[in-house]
Amino acid sequence: MTTRAYAVAIAAVAAAGLGYVLLSYAVTDGALLPVAARYVTDGVRDTASINIVSGVLLDYRAFDTLGEATVILAAVAAVSALFSGSTIGTDSHGAGLLVQRSVSYLAGFFWLFPVYIIANGHLSPGGGFQGGVSLAVLIVLLNVVFGTRVGSQRIGVKHLHWAESLSAAAFIAIGAVGIVQGGGFLANLSAGFPAGSPGSLISAGAIPLLNLVIGVKVASGLASIFYDLISGDRVAP
């Protein structure tokens, strides 16, 4: 596909999205639908999260979010099955010395960004999915800059698989607290998780915990797929 074709495709998608927004606004006369209005007016009270998006994803429809996380688990399992028996090539030595030293000095700032996104997902735009993707990108950067030999030794595939499995189990365990407390699966404040003071770091009940486990799960899942895709055809001894 040529550059002009790409530009036309992007313009068409943007026009379709804008048309959908304008049509929706015209149909509703700019008024919020009943469900959306409920989220806006009662979201903070019901979830103690001032980020309404996180409140919806990890409280009102947390069970759906569990399904989305399960899709990532299934994708990792499928890709790992396709590349089973392969090993990661160790012949890549990464970038030059200057780039490696620069990334080494800035590594702390690079890791701070996704941690901030995950930790503040109930306070500002972000959360586990976005922070997890950022962490996965940093793992890819580690392999690109320092080479797959160093990258696979620092953060190996087995560690990633364990992290993904444990994070999935933690998600289910947090959800089971609601059942133990006499509520529903993945219940939040009604399950006894402390609401805290909305707007503070320690608030929103189980939502920060769910953001944390989702961040670990997404990061480990995407990084596992990356390692599988760069695996060679050599059979592991």
Residue 81 lies in a domain: yes
On whether residue 133 sits in a domain, the answer given is yes
Residue 213: pLDDT over 90:
yes
| pLDDT at residue 172, as a whole number | 93
Residue in this structure with the two tokens 């444990």, named with its chain if needed = 166
| CA separation for the pair 158, 184 (Å, rounded) | 34
163-190 in b/e burial notation, b at 16+ Cβ within 10 A? Answer: bbeebbebbeebbebbeeeeeeebbbbe
Reported as a single tens digit per residue, the pLDDT across 24-81 is 666 666 556 677 788 888 989 999 999 999 999 999 999 899 888 888 888 888 887 8
Tokens standing for 171? Answer: 């998600």
pLDDT of residue 3: 74
pLDDT at residue 237 in the model: 38
- Residue 58 located in a structural domain: yes
Residue 164 reports pLDDT greater than 50: yes
Residue 3 lies inside a defined structural domain of this protein: no
Residue-level pLDDT at 28:
61
Do the Cβ atoms of 188 and 173 come closer than 8 Å? no
Ramachandran quadrant class, 216 (left: phi over 0; alpha: psi -120 to 50; beta: rest): alpha
* Domain of 119, in residue numbers: 48-235
Radius of gyration (C-alpha) of the chain in whole angstroms: 21
Q: Is residue 40 part of a domain?
A: no
Residue 220 lies in a domain: yes
Structurally, how many domains does the chain consist of?
1
In a domain, 224, yes or no: yes
What lies within 8 Å, CB to CB, of 122 at 6+ separation is 49, 50, 51, 54, 55, 203, 204, 207, 208, 211
pLDDT of residue 8: 77
pLDDT of residue 89: 57
Q: Is the pTM of this model over 0.75?
A: yes
Positive/negative CA dihedral, 159, 218, 137, 2: positive
- CA distances to 33, 36, 54 from 29, rounded to whole Å, are 10, 14, 27
Contacts of 22 (CB under 8 A, 6+ apart): none
Express each pLDDT in 73-129 by its tens digit: 888 888 878 776 666 655 566 778 888 888 888 888 888 999 999 999 999 999 999
Q: Is residue 124 part of a domain?
A: yes
